[in-house]
Amino acid sequence: MGEFTVHRVRFFNYVPSGIRCVAYNNQSNRLAVSRTDGTVEIYNLSANYFQEKFFPGHESRATEALCWAKGQRLFSAGLNGEIIEYDLQALNIKYAMDAFGGPIWSMAASPHGSQLLVGCEDGSVKLFQITPDKIQFERNFDRQKSRILSLSWHPSGTHIAAGSIDYISVFDVKSGSAIHKMLVDRQFMGVSKRKCIIWGVAFLSDGTVISVDSAGKVQFWDSATGTLVKNHLIANADVQSIAVSDQEDSFVVGTAEGTVFHFQLVSVTSNSSEKQWVRTKPFQHHTHDVRAVAHSPTALISGGTDTHLVIRPLMEKVEVKNYDAALRKITFPHRRLISCSKKKQLLLFQFAHHLELWRLGSTVATGKNGDTLPLSKDADHLLHLKTKGPENIICSCISPCGSWIAYSTASRFFLYRLNYEHDNISLQRVSKMPAFLRSALQILFSEDSTKLFVASNQGSLHIIRLLEGSFKHLHTFQPQSGTVESMCLLAVSPDGNWLAASGTSAGVHVYNIKHLKLHCTVPAYNFPVTALAIAPNTNNLVIAHSDQQVFEYSIPGKQYTEWSRTIQKQGFHHLWLQRDTPITHISFHPKKPMHILLHDAYMFCIIDKSLPLPNDKTLLYNPLPPTNESDVIRRRTAHAFKISKIYKPLLFMDLLDERTLVAVERPLDDIIAQLPPPIKKKKFGT
Amino acid sequence: MAALEEEFTLSAVSLGAGPDGLLGVEQSDKTDQFLVTDSGRTVILYKVSDQKPLGSWSVKQGQIITCPAVCNFQTGEYIVVHDNKVLRIWNNEDVNLDKVFKATLSADVYRIHSIQGTEPLVLFKEGAVRGLEALLAEPQQKIETVISDEEVIKWTKFFMVFRHPALLFITEKCGNYFAYVQTFNSNVLSKYTLLLGQEENSVIQSFTVSVDRKFISLMSLNSDGCIYETLIPIRPNDPEKNQRVVRSLLLKAVVSGNARNGVALTMLDRDHVAVLGPPLPASKECLSIWNTKFQTLQTSKELSQGTSGQLWYYGENLFMLHGKFLTVIPYKCEVSSLAGALGKLKHSQDLGSHPMPHFVNWETSQGYGLGFQDSEPSKRVLRRRKIEVSVQPEVPASEQLLSTIKKDSEKHIEVELRKFLAIKQTPDFQTVIGNIVTGLLGRCKAEPSFYPRNSLMQLIQTHVLSYSLCPGLMEVAVEKTDVQMLQLCLQQFPDVPESVICTCLKIFLSIGDDSLQETDISMESVSDYSDTTQDEEMEKQTAVLQNGLSAEEDNGHQEKPQAAAGETTSCPVIPKRAALLNAILHSAYSETFLLPHLKDISAQHTTLFLQYLYFLYLKCSENATMTLPGIHPPTLNQIMDWICLLLDANFTVVVMIPEAKRLLLSLYKFVKSQICICSELNKIEVSFRELQKLNQEKNNRELYSIEVLELF
Asked if B694 has any chain A CB less than 8 Å from its own CB, the reply is no
What per-residue confidence (pLDDT) applies to A506?
66
- CA nearest to A376 within chain B: B706
How far off is chain B from A338, nearest CA to CA, in Å? Answer: 16
Q: How many CB atoms lie within 10 A of CB A326?
A: 13
Residues in A touching B709 (Cβ below 8 Å): 3-6, 369-370, 644, 646, 661
Query: How does residue A487 score in pLDDT terms, banded at 50, 70 and 90?
Result: confident
Contact A3 B710 (CB under 8 A): yes
CB contact under 8 Å between A4 and B682, yes or no, is: no
Residue A322's pLDDT is 65
SS3 for B501?
A: helix
pLDDT of residue B391: 40
> How many Å lie between the alpha carbon of B711 and the closest alpha carbon of chain A?
5
Structure confidence by residue, pLDDT tens digits, A13-28 = 999 999 999 999 999 9
CB-based contact, A626 to chain B, within 8 Å: yes
CB contact under 8 A, B703 and A5: no
Residue A323: band (very low, low, confident or very high) from pLDDT cuts 50, 70, 90: low
Residue B33 belongs to what H/E stretch?
strand B33-38
The DSSP result for B187-226, as a single string, is: TEEEEEEEE-TT-TTS-EEEEEEEE-SSEEEEEEEETTS-
Residue B659 identity (one-letter amino acid): E
Identify which of A369, A375, A685 has the shortest CB distance to residue B708. A369
3-state secondary structure A403-446: CEEEEECCCCEEEEEEEEECCEEEEEECCCCCCCCCCEEEEEEC
The pLDDT value recorded for residue A561 is: 94
Residues from chain B that touch A634, judged by Cβ atoms under 8 A, are 712
Provide ipTM, 2 decimals. Answer: 0.84
Using CA coordinates, name the residue in chain B closest to A666.
B703
Alpha-carbon gap, residue B338 to B344, rounded angstroms: 9
What pLDDT, in 10s, does the model give residues A468-486? 877 888 999 888 766 667 7
Q: Is the CB of B704 less than 8 angstroms away from the CB of A11?
A: yes
Q: Are A376 and A363 in contact (CB under 8 A)?
A: yes
Neighbouring C-alpha atoms within 13 Å toward the C-beta of B645: 24
What number of other Cβ atoms are within 10 A of residue B501's Cβ? Answer: 22
- Asked if B711 and A2 come within 8 Å (Cβ–Cβ), the reply is yes
- Model confidence at B343: pLDDT above 70: no
CB-based contact B696 A366, cutoff 8 Å: no
- Shortest Cα distance from B674 to chain A (angstroms)? 9
Distance from CA of A66 to the nearest CA of B (A): 37
Task: For residue A319, give Cα distances in angstroms to A245, A313, A315, A579, B188.
Answer: 17, 11, 8, 20, 35
Task: Compute the count of residue pairs across chains A and B with CB atoms less than 8 Å apart.
Answer: 96
In the stretch 645-674 of chain B, residues with CB closer than 8 A to chain A read 674
Contact A589, A655 (CB under 8 A): yes
Interchain pair A685, B682: CB under 8 A: yes
Asked if B328 and B47 count as a contact pair (C-beta separation under 8 A), the reply is no
Residue B98 Cα, gap to closest chain A Cα (Å) = 57
Q: Which helix (H) or strand (E) holds A386?
A: strand A380-386
Strand partners, A44: A30, A50
Task: Give the tens place of pLDDT for each residue, A160-199.
Answer: 999 999 999 999 999 999 999 999 987 765 666 678 999 9
Name the residue in chain B with its Cα closest to that of A10: B703
DSSP H or E run through B434: helix B429-446
Buried b (16+ CB within 10 A) or exposed e, B624-639: eeeebbbeebbbbebb
Q: Which of A6, A361, A625 sits opposite B707 (nearest CB)?
A: A6
Question: From CA B397, how far away is CA B419, in angstroms rounded?
Answer: 9
Mutate to test the interface with A, among B677, B707, B710 (most CBs of A within 10 A): B707
Q: Do A7 and B711 touch (CB under 8 A)?
A: no
Across the range B324-346, mean pLDDT stands at 60
Which pTM value belongs to this model?
0.60
What mean pLDDT is predicted for residues A401-415?
Answer: 92
The CA-atom distances, in angstroms, between B380 and each of A136, B74, B316, B377, B411 are: 91, 18, 11, 5, 39
Please check whether residue B711 touches A, CB under 8 A: yes
**Is the confidence at residue A79, as pLDDT, over 80?**
yes
The DSSP letter of residue A113 is S
Inter-chain residue contact A685 with B711, CB threshold 8 Å: no
pLDDT of B158-209, one tens digit each? Answer: 888 777 788 888 888 887 888 888 887 777 788 888 877 655 566 777 888 8
- Rounded distance, CA B245 to CA A174, Å? 70
Contact state of A1 with B712 under an 8 Å Cβ cutoff:
yes
Q: CB distance from A645 to chain B under 8 Å?
A: no
Q: What are phi and psi of B618, to 5 degrees?
A: -60, -40
Query: How does pLDDT run across B41-51, given as a tens digit for each residue?
Result: 888 888 888 88
Yes or no, beta carbons of B710 and A683 under 8 Å apart: no
A379 and B704: CB-CB below 8 Å? yes
Helix (H) or strand (E) holding A650: strand A650-657
Q: How far is Cα B697 from Cα A51, in angstroms, rounded to an integer?
A: 33
Q: Which residue in B679, B704, B711 is closest to A642 by CB distance? A: B711
The pLDDT tens digits for B432-488 are 888 888 888 888 888 888 888 888 888 888 878 888 878 888 888 888 888 888 888
| CB within 8 Å: B679 and A685 | yes
Distance (Å) from the C-alpha of residue B693 to the closest C-alpha of chain A? 10
Secondary structure letter of residue A562 according to DSSP = H
What band does A209 get if pLDDT is binned at 50, 70 and 90?
very high
Interface touch B709/A370, C-beta < 8 Å: yes
Shortest distance, CA A449 to any CA of chain B (angstroms)? 28
- Helix H segments across B572-627? 575-586, 591-598, 603-620
Residues of A in contact with B675 (CB under 8 A): 685
Task: For residue B705, list chain A residues with Cβ-Cβ distance below 8 A.
Answer: 8, 372-373, 375
Q: Are A319 and A311 in contact (CB under 8 A)?
A: no
Q: Which of A372, A376, A599 to mutate to test the interface with B (most CBs of B within 10 A)?
A: A372
CB-based burial label for A422 (10 Å; 0-12, 13-18, 19+): exposed
Asked if the Cβ–Cβ distance from A372 to B706 is below 8 Å, we say yes
Say if the Cβ atoms of B685 and A368 lie within 8 Å: no
pLDDT given at position A634: 60
Whether the CB of A627 is below 8 Å from some CB of chain B: the reply is no
Q: Does A628 touch chain B (CB under 8 A)?
A: no
Given this model, what pLDDT does residue B425 score?
Answer: 63
Closest Cβ–Cβ partner in A379, A626, A646 for B709: A646
Q: How far apart are the first and last CA of chain B?
A: 57
Average pLDDT over residues A615-628: 73
- CB A141, CB A125: distance < 8 Å: yes
Residue range B210-221: mean pLDDT, rounded: 80
Question: Distance of CA A518 to CAs A477, A499, B43, B619, Å?
Answer: 8, 9, 86, 84
- A558/A556 Cα distance (integer angstroms): 6
Model pLDDT, residue A632: 57
d(CA B96, CA A32): 94
Within 8 A of A378 by CB-CB distance, chain B residues are 704
For residue B689, what is the nearest residue in chain A, using CA coordinates?
A: A683
Q: Cβ B708–A683 below 8 Å, yes or no?
A: no
Interface of A with B in 448-477 (CB under 8 A): none
Q: Is A274 on the interface with B (CB under 8 A)?
A: no
Q: What is the pLDDT of residues A28-43, one digit of tens each?
A: 999 999 999 999 999 9
Which of helix, strand or coil describes residue B565? helix
Residue A35 three-state SS: strand
Task: Encode pLDDT of B518-570 as tens digits.
Answer: 765 333 322 222 333 333 444 444 434 333 333 333 333 333 333 333 333 46
Please answer whether residues B406 and B416 qualify as being in contact, where contact means their C-beta atoms are separated by less than 8 angstroms. no
Q: Do A667 and B700 touch (CB under 8 A)?
A: yes
B696 touches chain A (CB under 8 A): yes
Q: Which of A625, A669, A683 sits opposite B710 (nearest CB)?
A: A625
Closest residue on chain B to A604 (Cα): B711
To the nearest whole Å, the CA of B59 is away from the closest chain A CA by: 52
Q: Does B706 touch chain A (CB under 8 A)?
A: yes
Q: Is B699 on the interface with A (CB under 8 A)?
A: no
B420-429 tens-digit pLDDT: 887 766 677 7
